[in-house]
Amino acid sequence: MLIIFDCDGVLIDSEILAARLEAEAITGLGLPMSAETICARFAGTTTKEVWQTLERELGRPLPPSFFESHLAHVRDVFARDLQPIAGARVAVSSLSLPFCVASSTRLPALIDNLATCGLVDLFDGRVYSASQVKRAKPAPDVFMFAASQMGADPTDCLVIEDSVAGVTAARRAGMRVVGFVGGSHVTPGHAERLTAAGAAETFAHMRDLAAIVAGHLPGAAA
């Protein structure tokens, strides 16, 4: 069985940090919005998609070079403040099954963020991004791509996801998926939303990862 990890909100605690920066930026442009709203609406989608939507709601084009300047600011803040999900390194390194990452974040930033959090060495090149495929989550493309690169059948994959878009993508890929609800961005009712989207179960602490995986191995009790 192949374990496929989403990154943001599963391995690194980036969702709330990114949402705060996006909320500050769009509020500064005249469209007040909270980080909690950003998380609820856009978790699991690409930064480009977030800003395309916010630009439409703002009702006017973003200022020239806004997107590039915003991304540069995000990179600076992430390099200084980004942290791994508690227990992620121990949990991942203890797995005896093959595993990889499949994320909506563009590949260079994805690798940088994993490196900042001291996790990139665990994956040794097994890092896949929606920037390498045609469509981002909730389309299944990045998960299908990851499985093909790892030589795994989609029906023999278990995805660890924190967003409705990601759970939907995994299910559309024909993969089993469990929801992780231990990120700082998670709000009440999120576990129920992931379950409604198709997650087989949810968990909130990386120390429980091994037991979750064991429960989905072939032959495990239902």
Quick one: 40 and 92 in the same domain? no
137 phi and psi angles, rounded to 5 deg: -60, 140
Domain boundary among 62, 81, 100: 81
- Is the Cα dihedral 16, 22, 27, 31 positive or negative? negative
User: Angle CA(200)–CA(206)–CA(209) in degrees, nearest 5?
Assistant: 50
Residue 139 lies in a domain: yes
Q: What is the pLDDT of residues 129-158, one digit of tens each?
A: 999 999 999 999 999 999 999 999 999 999
CA 218 vs. chain centroid, Å, equals 26
Number of C-beta neighbours around residue 208 at 10 A: 14
Whether residue 120 is predicted with pLDDT greater than 90 in this model: the reply is yes
Quick one: 174 and 187 in the same domain? yes
Quick one: 109 and 164 in the same domain? yes
Domain boundary among 81, 109, 139: 81
What angle, 0 to 180 degrees and rounded to 10, lies between the N-to-C axes of helices 141-150 and 164-172?
A: 60
Residue 47 lies in a domain: yes
The letter for the amino acid at 214 is: A
Residue 220 lies in a domain: no
What's the pTM value of the predicted model, to 2 decimals?
0.91
